[in-house]
Chain A
Amino acid sequence: DIQMTQSPSSLSASVGDRVTINCRASQTIDSYLNWYQKKPGKAPNLVIYAASSLQSGVPSRFRGSGSGTDFTLTISSLQPEDFATYYCQQSYSLPWTFGQGTKVEIK
C-alpha cells in the first residue's frame, strides 16, 4: 500500500496569511494526487485534483503543485471559510489512501 504522510499535522494562521501544506507519498504516484477540505459535520470537498488542477467552484487562492512523491497545497491568502482539515489522497493505485490530515486553525 502507498503511505501518504502530511506535514504539519496542524498549524495556526491568521486571516490573510499564506499557508503551505505538504504531502509525501511512500513511492512515486506521478501526478495522481487529490486534495480535499473537510469541516466538522460537513461533507468533504474536492479542492485540487491531478496534483495541480483547481476543482470547479474552488477559489483561485488554492494552488496545488508537485509530482512524483512530493506535493504541496498552498492557500495564498487565508480566508475565514478556509479553516478546516485538509487531506491529500493518492489515486495512483488501490487501495486509495489518504494522508492523516492537516488541521488549519485560527491563530
Chain B
Amino acid sequence: EVQLVESGGALVQPGGSLRLSCAASGFTFSNSAMIWVRQAPGKGLEWVSTIIGSGVGTYYTDSVRGRFTISRDNSKSTLYLQMNSLRAEDTADYYCAKGTTDLVIATTAFDNWGQGTLVTVAS
C-alpha cells in the first residue's frame, strides 16, 4: 500500500523559512516523479513544484520560483520542500503526491496523496 506522510508544517513569521518532508513507502520511490500541491484556506488546489524520479529535473510555479526548493533523497524515500522568504500568501495545507510517471510529461497524473501539513505564515 502506498503511503505518503508529510511533516514540518508550522506557524512561521513572514520572511522566515521552513522545510517540509514527505516520507514515502509502498512503491519504488525513484521510479516516480513527486509533486507538491497546496490549498490555501477556503481556496482550490494549486500545483507548487515537481521533481522527476532521478532528482535532476525540478519545476516550479512562478510564485515560488527562487524562494522554494524541491529535492528528494531516493535512498531514504523522502521528498522535501525548502521554503524561504515565506509570505502570508504561502499559508496553506501542503500535500505531497506521487506522479504516475518518473518524468514530467503530459500523461502524468497524481495517483496517491498524503494527508497534508499546514503552513501558516503570520506575525
Residue numbers of A with Cβ under 8 A of B are 30, 32, 34, 36, 38, 42-46, 49-50, 55, 87, 89, 91-101
- Give the residues in chain B near A96, CB-CB below 8 Å: 47, 50
When the two chains form the complex, which single residue of A46, A95, A97, A99 contacts B109, counting CB atoms closer than 8 Å?
A: A46
CA distance A17 to B92 in the complex (A): 33
- Give the residues in chain B near A50, CB-CB below 8 Å: 107, 109
- Give the residues in chain A near B39, CB-CB below 8 Å: 38
A54 CB to closest chain B CB, in angstroms?
A: 12
- Give the residues in chain B near A93, CB-CB below 8 Å: 106
Q: 6 A-B contacts, Cβ less than 8 Å apart?
A: A34-B110, A46-B111, A49-B109, A49-B111, A91-B108, A94-B59
Number of contact residues on B: which range applies? Answer: 20 to 34
- Give the residues in chain B near A32, CB-CB below 8 Å: 106-107
When the two chains form the complex, which single residue of B106, B112, B113, B114 contacts A92, counting CB atoms closer than 8 Å?
A: B106
A95 CB to closest chain B CB, in angstroms?
A: 5
> CB of B116 within 8 A of chain A?
yes
Give 6 closest A-B pairs by Cβ, nearest first. Answer: A43-B113, A49-B109, A96-B47, A32-B106, A34-B109, A98-B45
